Amino acid sequence: MLGDLGTASLAAGLLCATLTALLWLRVALFAAPARPARLATAATLGAAAAACALLEAALLGHDFGVTFVAENGGRHVPVYYTVTSLWAALDGSLLLWLLVLAGYAALLARRRRYPARLHAYAMAVVSTLTVFFFALSAFAANPFRPVSPVPADGPGPNPLLQQHPAMGLHPPLLYAGYLGLAVPFAFALAAPLAGPQGRDWLRAARPWALAAWAALTAGIGLGAWWSYAVLGWGGYWAWDPVENASLLPWLTATAFLHTATRRGTGRAGWNLVLACASFVLVLFGTFLTRSGAVSSVHAFTDSPLGPMLLGFVLLAVVAATLLAGRRVPEPPRRAGPAADPGRGAPALSRGTAVLVNGVLLVTIAAVVLIGTVFPLLSGPLGGVRASVGPPYYERTAVPLAVAVLLVMGTLPAVTARAGGLRRLAVPGGVALTTVAAVGLLSRPGAAALTAFGAAAFVLTGVAAELAERLRRDRGTAATGHRRRSPGRFAGLVAHAGIAVVAVGVAGSAAYGRDAERVVRTGETLRVPGASARLVGVDRSADAGTMTVRARLRLTGAGGERTVAPALRYHPGRDATVTVPAIRTGPLRDTYVTLLAVAPDGGSATVRLAVNPLVGLLWAGGALTAAGGLVAAVGVTRPRRRPAAPATSEPVAAETRSEPGPAETRSEPGPAGTRSEPVAGAAG
Amino acid sequence: MRWRRALGALVAAALLAAAGAGLARSAGGADGQDPVRAVAAGLRCPACEGESVADSRSPIAAAMRQAVADQVAQGRDAEEIRRWFVERYGREVLADAPGPAGPLLWAVPALALLGAGYAALRTLRPRAASAAPVPRREQPAGDGRPAADGTTPTGRGTRRAWQACSVGVVALVASVAVAAGRLDRPGARPEPADPVTVAVGLARDLEEQQRYDAAARMYEEALRDRPDDAIRLRLAFALLRAGDSAGAEESARAVLARAPDSPDGLLVLGLAQRDRRSPEAAATLRRFLALAPQHPAAAEIRRLVAAAG
């Protein structure tokens, strides 16, 4: 019953989506009224929501006659993880994907302040994407297919996906990030088609890109935390294909955000390519991870969708190439300090800095891309299917990321009106002092040491810039200068977040210590800064799982306490999951993993690790995402209440004839990629 | 003012020198680097999806880490250990075995750097504002050229674009529908290195080091992937040597149930029964001698049987 309704909702969605695409096309080509197209867009969203709701109902009602429930549901699964198991496997996660995509389409359809033709063409592109994914879901990955005979119970979702509450947040956030990038992509394709109306596509696309970027940042950060807390080896980033697939669009989107300002005159082609590349990389990542083309610890699914996804990626590339080949009309050049019609940007300017970082970010993306697809190439080219491991990324991406940090640190110099280089004296001095002090007091390795110095450079520069801007505000408050958007400090916050992440990455890699061996009851395992004595081993069984716990007396910086890392066996899936015990401290975590237990329970294989500074990773990730979010809000919402009595002008980017600092300076920072070896020392 | 500048230069020079010293100290590698981890990070875990031996939680990876640790303790260096693994399990065991496609790993990023750098340079150089549009052989769909006043003429070109686009959208749906019917779920891909082979190899190493408990666990791991009687017999031997005669007897009986005349099965069963003081031991061992008089263990067993009288 639910299954039939679900299949019907997918069919209805496919029809609505096709209709939507055609209606928006009519609006674009014939200037037809947009109302029917808007209604069709809303109907498509309704169909996607209905499909999701029906599958949730089937999961919660344990309707094992539905394929997806029979494969991923289970009576023993807690309610929360039953709800989240909608996106625990491909067919269901495609429904969430559709819901998010249709949601973006409906949001974009409602906005009326874009140029009409640009808007209609962009909507036609987004609707075409929706058509494709609805077709995929309805024909190739229908989760509602009936099962016969109906099983009495199911195995539950993949055990790794019912371990951590982040399961409810991480995938939806990532999808919000991935699909949010579809909107800038749609505007980039629409711009050459819309003629003179396409001039201002960057202004239309940027808020969407910012929001998507913030969601993607939060999603990646949350995913790192999740893998740290669940996978049991204390790492947060393994250069795994699925992780890389999320990093690729993040890198290009970061570059796009920095160059996609009105000051980016003369960069139309560059911005167009970056906007297209970001979403094409999203599609490509989907292909890589959903087709089983590369093996990954995260690939929770093998599906026949590979060829179709690859075909669609190629279609997107062809469309983008054909359209980018047409000249994009550019907004007229403004006379200004950075865009002088007679000259290019001066060597030391914001424009140059973001371009240099854009080039570096694109290069990092190329490194990650070739490293990820290498297994696919090495087979045909030389027999052995080889993959590249973290050492390759450490040699390539890490130095590039440090270079990105250093260019980020020039922010105070390039935003200054005059005497730019002099403003780098203090940050430079602090950076050198940091390198000297840390390098003489400990030996973290060259890569980590450079990262510390670069992070100090960025953080000091951000602090100096913040002080400078506040001082300038006080000076201009009286004159009512327009300088008070909420997104004003967002870029600085995001930059600081990236630098903090860099410190966490370098510190945890350089100073982490671990030991792993078999300990008998009563024996002690020691690493510098912590020790664990095995007290005993318990076994227990509950609904659907069997658990072995090792009780250990942990002695460390925070006194003594008992921890109980466990191994949890899920017979339904014949899989064992490690449940590490993590003691979080202000400066370091103590991380205990149980690897194996002797049959007689007299000894256990235990890994004890001390991970310093990992807290900075989560804090920095949160800061970066918050900066992106504030910037997105800052450029989309006109301010209602003037911050100072004298200023009453609205500052939303779209309502200004000229970009103010909110648009040009409140940019999330370039990538300090989490690019150090995840566990294990750098260098 | 000159002394201030001199002082600034002096401070900068001192800082640079100190930072250089700090970096030089670190250039030799970080403190506390675990050599076992460093080698294990470069080995691919055969039983898992794209994880290195250092990061994987699977028993095979744990045994491989142990093998690395043993060799580090013997004083072998990283390169020797890697060679040892390659000799035994093939090049696929290395996480970084690029092979002939290796240059791509450097060429692609270098090209990206050059290409993006060139594109960035071009954006810095302002172009003439009135560059002619690039003529295209193939105009993309939706070529509704607006008139000068921004309205769209509904000319023949626009109609054709509309028709082409509608056909395109429908064709997209149709192609997915057709393709979906022809695609099967992919089968399991062959593993890069056969986990069973690796597990058995590791187990033999453990037996050589007389760590029979761990070896038995490794054989059990291999059996989970490939229920093969030869492996089951090795497991039975390992259990016997580890002192678990009940387990050994169980494994041997499982083999004998399928192959009643397996000499090795009878041998293990007999020895296990003998350990457990079972009266059937002598009969089982005599049957073994009758079946395999040339077996390497036969002489020893004859002695045992004769002693038991």
**Higher per-residue confidence, B302 vs A580:** A580
**Interface membership of B209 toward A (CB under 8 Å):** no
Instruction: Kindly determine whether residue A30 and residue B152, on different chains, have CB atoms separated by under 8 Å.
Output: yes
User: Would you list the DSSP string of A170-204?
Assistant: HHHHHHHHHHHTHHHHHHHHHHHHTGGGGGGHHHH
pLDDT reading at A651 higher than 50: no
Interstrand relation of A559-563 and A566-570 (parallel, antiparallel or unpaired):
unpaired
Its domain, for residue B237, covers 227-307
Q: Which of A321-325, A421-425, A633-637, B52-56 has the lowest mean pLDDT?
A: A633-637
**Per-residue confidence band for A535, with pLDDT thresholds at 50, 70 and 90:** very high
Contacts of A131 in chain B (CB under 8 A): 169, 172-173
> Is the Cβ of B120 closer than 8 Å to some Cβ of chain A?
yes
pLDDT score for A408: 93
Q: pLDDT band at residue B31, thresholds of 50, 70 and 90? A: low
Residue B26 contacts A, CB cutoff 8 Å: yes
pLDDT band at A366 (very low <50, low <70, confident <90, very high): very high
A18, A433, A448 ranked by CB distance to B169: nearest:
A18
Number of Cβ pairs closer than 8 Å across A and B? 335
Q: How far apart are the first and last CA of chain A?
A: 59
pLDDT for res A565: 93
Q: What percent of chain A has pLDDT over 90?
A: 52
Best residue of B23, B57, B139 to probe chain A, by most A CBs closer than 10 Å:
B57
Name the pLDDT band for A655 (thresholds 50, 70, 90): very low
Q: What is the pLDDT of residue A62?
A: 94
Q: How far apart are CA B153 and CA B147, in angstroms?
A: 7
Give the nearest partner residue to B165 out of A25, A325, A386, using CB atoms. A25
What percentage of chain A carries pLDDT values higher than 70?
84
CA dist., res. A646 & res. A203, Å (int)? 27
Inspect the interface and report whether the beta carbons of A341 and B125 lie closer than 8 Å.
Answer: no
CB contact (8 A) between residue B123 and residue A269: yes
What is the structure's pLDDT at A591? Answer: 92
pLDDT (mean) for A225-246: 86
d(CA A281, CA A401): 20
Dig out the tokens for B98 from the structure.
């690029």
In the predicted model, what is the mean pLDDT of chain B? 77
What is the radius of gyration, based on Cα positions, of chain A? 26
Residue A262, pLDDT score: 64
Using the Cα atoms of residue A71, residue A77, residue A78 and residue A79 in order, give the sign of their dihedral.
Answer: positive
- Residue A233 · residue A343 · CB < 8 Å: no
pLDDT, position A677: 34
pLDDT category, A385, cuts 50, 70, 90? low
Where residue B235 sits, what CATH number does that domain have? 1.25.40.10
What is the per-residue DSSP string for A83-109? Answer: HHGGGSSHHHHHHHHHHHHHHHHHHHH
Question: Would you say residue B132 has pLDDT above 70?
Answer: no
For A390-415, b/e burial (b = at least 16 CB within 10 A) is bbbbbebbbebbbbbbbbbbbbbbbb
Cβ of B176 and A365 within 8 Å? no
* Confidence band, pLDDT 50/70/90 cuts, at residue A28: very high
Of B24, B152, B169, which is closest to A128 when you measure between CB atoms?
B169
- Does any domain span residue B250? yes
Q: Please state, for a pLDDT cut of 90, what percent of chain B lies above it.
A: 4
Q: Is the pLDDT of residue A517 over 60?
A: yes
Q: Would you state the structure tokens that stand for residue A575, as one six-digit string?
A: 């899989």
Tell me which residue of A411, A609, A395, A400 sits closest to A514, measured CA to CA: A609
Pick from A11-15, A17-21, A86-90, A575-579: least confident = A575-579
Q: Which amino acid is at A234?
A: G
3 state DSSP class of A593: strand
Where exactly are the structural domains of chain A? Answer: 1-162, 184-196+205-330+349-388, 517-615
Identify the three-state secondary structure at position A620: helix
pLDDT band at A678 (very low <50, low <70, confident <90, very high): very low
Give B142's contacts in chain A (Cβ within 8 Å): 25, 28-29, 121, 124, 193
In a domain, B135, yes or no: no
pTM: 0.82
Q: How far is A607 from chain B (nearest CA, A)?
A: 10
Min Cα–Cα distance to chain B from A323, Å: 7
User: Which among B16, B26, B145 is the nearest to A444, CB-wise?
Assistant: B26
How confident is the model over B57-84, as a mean pLDDT? Answer: 84
Reply yes or no on whether the pLDDT at B109 is more than 90.
yes
pLDDT tens track for A487-501:
778 999 999 999 999
Are A681 and B33 in contact (CB < 8 Å)?
yes
Task: Tell which of B7, B170, B173 to mutate to test the A interface (max A CBs under 10 Å).
Answer: B173
Q: For A120-139, b where at least 16 C-beta lie within 10 A, e where not — what string? A: bbbbbbbbbbbbbbbbbbbb
For chain B, what is the domain count? 1
Output A53-60 pairs: Cβ under 8 A, ≥24 positions apart. Answer: A54/A2, A54/A5, A54/A6, A54/A9, A54/A144, A55/A6, A55/A86, A55/A92, A55/A95, A55/A143, A55/A144, A56/A83, A56/A86, A57/A2, A58/A2, A58/A3, A58/A6, A58/A144, A59/A83, A59/A85, A59/A86
pLDDT in tens, A161-191: 888 899 999 999 999 999 999 999 999 999 9
Q: Are strands A530-542 and A524-527 parallel, antiparallel or unpaired?
A: antiparallel
What is chain A's mean pLDDT, rounded? Answer: 84
Q: Tens digit of pLDDT for each residue in B249-278?
A: 888 888 888 888 888 888 888 888 888 888
Question: Which tokens belong to A175?
Answer: 């999808």
Lowest mean pLDDT among A5-9, A297-301, B263-267: A297-301
- Whether residues A683 and B29 touch (CB distance < 8 A) is answered with yes
Residue A298 has pLDDT above 70, yes or no: no
Asked if A359 and B18 come within 8 Å (Cβ–Cβ), the reply is: no
Instruction: Specify the pLDDT at position B150.
Output: 42
| Residues 6+ away with beta carbon under 8 Å from A342 | B126
Q: Residue B33 — very low, low, confident or very high, per pLDDT cuts 50/70/90?
A: low
Return the structure tokens found at A503.
């410190």
The yes-or-no verdict on residue A354 having pLDDT over 60 is yes
Residue A96 CB neighbour total at 10 angstroms? 19
Q: What is the mean pLDDT of residues B28-49?
A: 72
In a domain? residue B240? yes
φ/ψ (deg, to 5) at A298: -95, -10
Instruction: For residue B56, tell me if it sits in a domain.
Output: no
Residues of A whose CB is below 8 A from B158: 29-30
**Chain B residues 33-92 with CB within 8 Å of chain A:** 33-34, 37-38, 41-42, 44, 48-52, 54-57, 59, 62, 65, 91-92
Chain A contact for B217, CB < 8 A? yes
In tens, the pLDDT along A37-51 reads 999 999 999 999 999
A329 pLDDT band (50/70/90 cuts)? low
Residues B144-203 pLDDT 10s: 344 333 444 557 788 888 888 889 998 999 988 888 777 655 444 444 456 777 788 888
Q: Which residue has the tokens 């169980």?
A: B250
Helical (H) or strand (E) element with A541: strand A530-542
pLDDT, residue B270, reads: 87
Asked if residue B141 has pLDDT above 50, the reply is: no
Q: Which tokens sit at A558?
A: 């925070």
Neighbours of A67 (CB within 10 A): 17
Confidence grade of residue A383 (pLDDT, cut at 50, 70, 90): low
Say if B243 falls within a structural domain: yes
The dihedral over CA atoms of A357, A362, A363, A367, expressed in degrees to the nearest 10, equals: 140
For range B35-62, the mean pLDDT? 77
Q: What's the pLDDT at A337?
A: 42
Does the structure show a pLDDT above 90 at A379?
A: no
pLDDT at B236: 87
User: Residue A444 above 90 pLDDT?
Assistant: no
Residue A656 has a pLDDT of: 34
User: What is the model's pLDDT at position A668?
Assistant: 36
Mean pLDDT to the nearest integer, B28-36: 66
* Candidate from A193, A195, A304 with C-beta closest to B184: A304
Bridge pairing between strands A575-579 and A581-584: unpaired
Tell me: cis bond preceding A149? Omega within 30 of 0 counts: yes
CB B231 within 8 A of CB B219: yes
- Is A577 within 8 Å of A567 (Cβ atoms)? yes
Instruction: Kindly state the helix (H) or strand (E) to which residue A595 belongs, with its residue range.
Output: strand A588-597
- Among A602-616, A635-649, B104-118, which stretch is predicted with the lowest mean pLDDT? A635-649
Q: Contacts of residue A388 in chain B, CB cutoff 8 Å?
A: 95-96, 98, 105
> Residue B279 domain-assigned?
yes
Least CA distance to A235: which residue of chain B?
Answer: B55
pLDDT in tens, A632-646: 887 765 544 444 333
Contacts of B224 (CB under 8 A, 6+ apart): none
